[in-house]
Chain A
Amino acid sequence: MEEKLLRLLEQDCSYTNEQLATMLGITAEEVKAKIAALVEKGVILKYTALVNWEKTEREFVTAHIELRVTPQRGEGFDRVAERIYQYPEVKSVYLMSGGYDLGVTIEGRTMKEVALFVAEKLAPMEFVVSTKTHFVLKKYKQNGVVFEEPKKDERRVITL
């Protein structure tokens, strides 16, 4: 039940408690209580909108940075990640397997701004061994949603 509720909210967090109740076969009060508990437990962190900024006036760039770092004695990568995710410019941080250690996403107004952030803030940290910056040129799909014009229903309006 909990997983079903979470999947529905992940699909569309604008469903009302009544609609969720109908879909799950429980009461709206029960939905409310379950959601409150999930927020309390930190399972639901936040409700956000998925925005296609390409269609707005806002100019900004996103970059994926591959960081190779030296893990800290006793604290491994967690302490390193914590130092990095404090910056508001840093939108996400993942610990990775393979050719590098931390995958960091950074947003800035211009490429130069992002490049300078990497050069001045990330690269000089004592545990950072190397950085590789990749700029995002175009987003095609995010969170399972394809960035394109809403599809028209091409089915015939009535079929028996």
Chain B
Amino acid sequence: MSFDVSSKLSPVVTSIQPSGIRKFFDIVSSMPDAISLGVGEPDFVTPWHIRDAGIYSLEKGKTYYTSNSGIIELRMEICNYTERRFGLSYDPDTEVLVTVGGSEAIDLCIRALVSKGDEVLIPEPSFVCYSPCTSLAGGVPVPIVTKEEEDFKLTPEALRAAITPRTKLLILPYPNNPTGAVLTREDLQKIADVIKETDIMILSDEIYAELTYETKHVSIASIDGMQERTILVNGFSKAYAMTGWRLGYACGHPDIIAAMTKIHQYAIMSTPTTSQFAAVEALRNGDDDVAEMVAEYNYRRKVILEGVRQIGLSCFEPFGAFYVFPNITITGMNSNEFCERLLKEEKVAVVPGNAFGKSGEGFIRCSYAYSIADINRALERIDKFVAKYK
């Protein structure tokens, strides 16, 4: 009798599509001489004083488990941060949970809130995890298309149109990966006005909160009446160039944080202790590092935006994250085709927009977490490529 392992897999898991660019990723990996603008993490190394704090904690033998929700010093620093940056006060004892990256916080929040058949609204294009996490929780992902001509913002009209009696949760992924879009206080106020007529909760993924240019990020939790129905997710990866430390957090209503902590306690126990001590240092003494990195990203942002427009591609000006999201429809190619041919013909790797949802079709994501020299080299090659086809 043959033993079929694949039939043992849970149907929910089987139904989830692996990332759409797997094949493309394999081609890129086989081309070591390609220039990549495909990376979704900072090119900076974690600032030395933060690394040093991690190392010091190891020297001191701090290699034990911490409390499930994270060391209290870190939770207190997180609360200081949300207070000084967004005017949001949270209780470090009951309203903060330290997680393995922002990703774990997103997963926990969805699992804590969503049950079978609940609908989760997901503005797209956006980061890839919301929809699979929703499906795994038994929920139904409902994409809301955001448009280039509306600066990729979630509009109150589109939001209202997507709401049904089964809607449980709205994901608010701003500043946005891959578009770089941000929402202003006025934008958020309009969204809040729609949400307040319902009993929908908000999961606000603010992992790029520190990486905004010529504008300061506003959290929807700071809009009047929204704090108790918002779960704020943030982390250390992007702001402090700490991706490999895998540390993030969630802040929100004590009942939700308690529910999330329950799942976290069984699935994870606690986050890496070394990372937590480094993160304390980041929040205490890292503001200048962030300002320096933001200034540097801003130069690159201007160079790449100008470059892409010079090439003749229309591109919305992004004020957040570290991506530009040019429209490539004038080449007559779809996103996948554009990316595969650009890679083969000019050896530049960028990410097809449709990896971030169907509405990303016709766009590519170019990261500017690279040196200006690399960006310029890549732009020259993209220019050559587009000139052939436009």
Contacts and interface: CB of A to CB of B under 8 A. Distances in A.
A158 B349 contact: yes
Contacts of A8: 299
B12 interface: no
Interface stretch (B33-41, B109-117, B191-199): B33-41
A158 B21 contact: yes
A155 B349 contact: no
Contacts of A23: 299, 302-303
Nearest to B128: A160
A160 B19 contact: yes
Overall SS of chain A's interface: loop
B39 A159 contact: yes
19 contacts: A12-B372, A19-B303, A19-B372, A19-B376, A23-B303, A153-B36, A153-B43, A155-B41, A157-B34, A158-B24, A158-B25, A158-B28, A158-B36, A158-B38, A158-B349, A159-B41, A160-B40, A160-B177, A160-B351
Contacts of B303: 19, 22-23
Given A22-B306, A158-B349, 19 more contacts: A8-B299, A12-B372, A19-B303, A19-B372, A19-B376, A22-B302, A25-B302, A153-B36, A153-B43, A156-B39, A157-B25, A157-B38, A157-B39, A158-B24, A159-B41, A160-B40, A160-B127, A160-B351, A160-B355
Contacts of B338: none
B356 interface: yes
Interface residues on B, range: 20 to 34
Contacts of A153: 36, 43
Interface in A5-35: 8, 12, 15, 19, 22-23, 25
Interface in A116-159: 153, 155-159
A22 B306 CA distance: 7
Contacts of A160: 19, 21, 40, 127-128, 177, 351, 355-356
B15 interface: no
Interface in A24-58: 25
Nearest to A159: B40
Nearest to A18: B306
B2 interface: no
Interface residues of A, number: 14
Contacts of B302: 22-23, 25
A74 B221 CA distance: 67
Q: What 5 A-B pairs have minimum CB-CB distances, sorted nearest first?
A: A158-B38, A159-B40, A23-B299, A157-B36, A22-B306
Nearest to B296: A11
Contacts of B43: 153, 155
A158 B299 contact: no
Contacts of B372: 12, 15, 19
Interface string B331-371: 00000000000000000010100011000000000000000
- Max chain A CB contacts within 10 Å: which of B24, B29, B299, B349? B299
A153 B39 CA distance: 11
Contacts of B306: 22
A155 B19 CA distance: 19
Contacts of A12: 372
A19 B307 CA distance: 10
A51 to B, nearest CB: 18
A159 B177 CA distance: 11
- Looking at A8, A22, A153, A160, the one whose CB has the most chain B CB atoms below 10 A away is A160
B29 A157 contact: yes
A121 B37 CA distance: 56
B315 to A, nearest CB: 14
Interface in B115-172: 127-128
Nearest to A4: B295
Contacts of A19: 303, 372, 376
User: Which has the most chain A C-beta neighbours within 10 Å: B34, B41, B43, B372?
Assistant: B372
B34 A158 contact: no
Interface string B296-313: 000100110010000000
Contacts of B39: 155-159
A124 to B, nearest CB: 45
A157 B349 contact: yes
Contacts of A158: 21, 24-25, 28, 36, 38-40, 349, 351
A123 to B, nearest CB: 41
Nearest to B339: A158
Contacts of A155: 39, 41, 43
A141 B372 CA distance: 22
A22 B304 CA distance: 9
B86 to A, nearest CB: 27
B182 to A, nearest CB: 19
Nearest to B365: A160
Nearest to B374: A153
Interface string A53-77: 0000000000000000000000000
Given A19-B372, A22-B306, A159 B38 contact: yes
B128 to A, nearest CB: 5
